[in-house]
């Protein structure tokens, strides 16, 4: 009888200890495709420092930039299995699984990075992240962004018709691809590290790119013409593996959400502060600069709208309404 009571007592104590034990420390793995000097990577490193400090060293984050863990498609697959914990991703790969995210690339939805940062905070945009866990296996913490999209070509361009037949490097997702197909161009997906050599050896005739990378990665060296078009914004999303998320305590979920959201906001603030400086540097390269607006792509925008108003009618309508309010 005494032995039985002692055994019961030990089991009860063990159960209490197990219940009250703190969550084990975790070294999270975070992936990006951007190089170490890039704003996204810098803020990912900042998030790692923040989390270590806020958790009193319980949690750390190892950041893997420049596609060390693979392409965005591969990283998303790793997060679906729980092999990768976190990432800052372009919306590109996620939108291949959550089609409504494609509406964020509507041509001339916004005019500049200030408006882009503002619209990404509206319910019209943030509600789209709710589809990520079920459809992509990740939890969307919030948006960041890169700069507005421009077009750099190795050949002279006077009108939109001159882009017809050109092989133009794009980020591989349907809304951008459709825009260039409507232009009669040949959209060509390439990983970022391969772009400079592809321009240099004629593998592509031009690129769809933001001003930061046109300047910082010296793509302008291979340009004849740079169309300063601001034709699309380029959102980024901070995500956590849904498998990893479900095992987190509420305290850790809140801490990660707050700290990552802060760093995503800082990404947007940096682009707002620096975009004009990059534009000034690009304009000073001596290359042919053409300022173009929606009228330059008038027919192509109509065709894009016809396609995507059928594919994402509610999302596109909500974003258009939000954009109108921002522009007032």
Q: What is the pLDDT of residues 187-198, one digit of tens each?
A: 999 988 899 999
pLDDT bin (cut points 50, 70, 90) of residue 23 is: very low
What's the pLDDT score for residue 233? Answer: 97
What's the pLDDT score for residue 328? Answer: 79
What's the pLDDT score for residue 24? Answer: 62
The class level of CATH for 26-327 reads: alpha beta
Question: 120 phi and psi, to 5 degrees?
Answer: -70, -10
CA–CA gap between residue 141 and residue 80 (Å, rounded): 16
Please state the pTM of the whole predicted model.
0.90
Res. 10: pLDDT tops 60: no
Listed residue (232, 226, 219) closest to 174, CA to CA: 232
CA–CA gap between residue 269 and residue 144 (Å, rounded): 9
3-state secondary structure (DSSP) of residue 218: coil
Query: How is the chain split into domains, by residue range?
Result: 26-327
Handedness of CA 76, 77, 79, 84 (dihedral sign): negative
Res. 74: pLDDT tops 50: yes
What's the pLDDT score for residue 309? Answer: 97
What's the pLDDT score for residue 18? Answer: 40
pLDDT bin (cut points 50, 70, 90) of residue 44 is: very high
């Amino acid at each position: 009888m005494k032995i039985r009571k002692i055994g019961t007592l030990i089991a009860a104590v063990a159960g209490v200890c197990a219940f009250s034990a703190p969550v084990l420390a975790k070294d999270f793995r975070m992936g990006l495709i951007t190089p170490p000097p890039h704003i996204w990577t810098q803020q990912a490193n900042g998030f790692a420092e923040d989390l270590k400090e806020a958790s009193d060293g319980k949690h750390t984050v190892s950041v893997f930039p420049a596609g060390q863990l693979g392409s965005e498609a591969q990283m998303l697959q790793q997060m679906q299995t729980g092999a990768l914990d976190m990432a800052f991703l372009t919306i590109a790969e996620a939108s291949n699984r959550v089609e409504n995210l494609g509406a964020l690339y509507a041509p001339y939805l916004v005019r500049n990075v200030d408006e882009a940062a503002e619209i990404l905070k509206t319910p019209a945009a943030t509600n789209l992240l709710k589809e990520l866990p079920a459809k992509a296996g990740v939890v969307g913490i919030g948006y960041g962004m890169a700069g507005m999209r421009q077009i750099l070509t190795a050949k002279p361009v006077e009108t939109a018709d001159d882009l017809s037949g050109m092989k133009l490097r794009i980020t591989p997702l349907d809304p951008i691809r459709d825009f260039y197909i409507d232009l009669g161009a040949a959209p060509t997906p390439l990983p970022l590290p391969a772009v400079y050599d592809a321009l240099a050896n004629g593998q592509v005739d031009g690129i769809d790119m933001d001003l930061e990378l046109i300047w910082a990665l010296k793509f302008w060296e291979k340009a004849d013409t740079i169309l300063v078009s601001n034709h699309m914004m380029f959102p980024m999303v901070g995500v956590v593996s849904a498998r990893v998320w479900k095992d987190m305590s509420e305290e850790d979920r809140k801490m990660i959400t707050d700290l990552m959201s802060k760093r995503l906001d800082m990404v947007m603030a940096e682009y707002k502060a620096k975009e004009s400086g990059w534009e000034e540097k690009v304009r000073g390269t001596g290359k042919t600069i053409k300022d173009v607006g929606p009228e330059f792509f008038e027919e192509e925008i109509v065709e894009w709208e016809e396609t995507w108003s059928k594919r994402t009618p509610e999302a596109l309508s909500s974003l258009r309404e939000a954009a109108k309010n921002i522009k007032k």
